[in-house]
Structure 1
C-alpha cells in the first residue's frame, strides 16, 4: 500500500496535493496600471504647464480610469478564487482621490497574487517562463 492511499480506494496526502491541477492566479489589468500612471503623469505635467483646469481634468479622468481598472482587476481575481474581504472597497474608493493609490494597489495586488499562488502550490504567472507551476518536480528545459 502506498503512502498516499488507503485500503478504501481513496487517495490521500501529499500525492494528491502534488497532482492537484490548480491554475495560477494572475491579475488581468494589473500590468496596465503603471503604464497608465506614467502616461497620466506626463499628460498632467504637459497640460499643467499651459492650463491648470486642464491638469485637473487629466487627474479626474485618470483617477476614474484607475478606479475602473482596479475594480475590474479585483473582480477578475475574485473570480479566480482570491478572497479580498472588505478592503476591496477601500482600494476602489481611494483610486478616485489619491494619486499614488494605483501604484500602491499594483504593489499590494502583486503580493496577494504571489501569496495565492504559493498557497495553491503553483508558480507566479508573471514569472513563469514555460507555463509550468513551481510544484513540478521535473527540471526545467534548457534552450
Structure 2
C-alpha cells in the first residue's frame, strides 16, 4: 500500500480528480490564429507603410505572444504538468524571437500528449 491511501481531505480528492482529467492547453488553440493575424499585419504594414511601424507591430505582437505562452504554461502547470526552468526560456524567447510561438505550439502539443499518455487518458 502506498501512503496516498492513508491520506484524506479535499486536497487529496482534488488531486485524484485532477489526475483523471486529460491535460489541455487553455490558450494553445488560440496561438496559431493570433500568430497568423500578427504575421499578416506585420507583412502589410512593412510593405505599405514602412519599417518603423512594422517594428512597432512586431513588438506589440510579441508581447502578446509572450503573454499567451506564459498564461498557457501557467494553466498547464495548474493541471500538474511540470515545466521546470524552461518555462522562463519559452516566455523570454516568445517575446524576442519570431518563430517561437509556432515552436511552442508544437512542443506543448507533445508535452500534453505525453502527459495524457502517462495518465492513461489517450485523448
| Shift, 1:123, TM fit | 2.5
Q: What TM-score do the two structures reach when normalised by structure 2?
A: 0.83
Match of 2:59 in 1: 60
Q: Which runs of 4+ in 1 moved over 4 A?
A: none
Task: State the shift of 1:52 in Å.
Answer: 1.1
Partner residue, 1:83: 82
Cα RMSD of the aligned pairs, angstroms, is 1.3
- Structure having the higher helix fraction is 2
Identify unmatched segments of 5+ residues in structure 2: 6-15
Q: Deviations over 1:19-72 (max 9, x none)?
A: x86000000000111111110110011110122111001100010000000000
Residues matched between the structures, number: 106
Q: Which has the larger radius of gyration?
A: 1
Alignment-derived partner of residue 34 in structure 2: 36
Counterpart-to-counterpart distance in 1, 2:51 and 2:90:
27
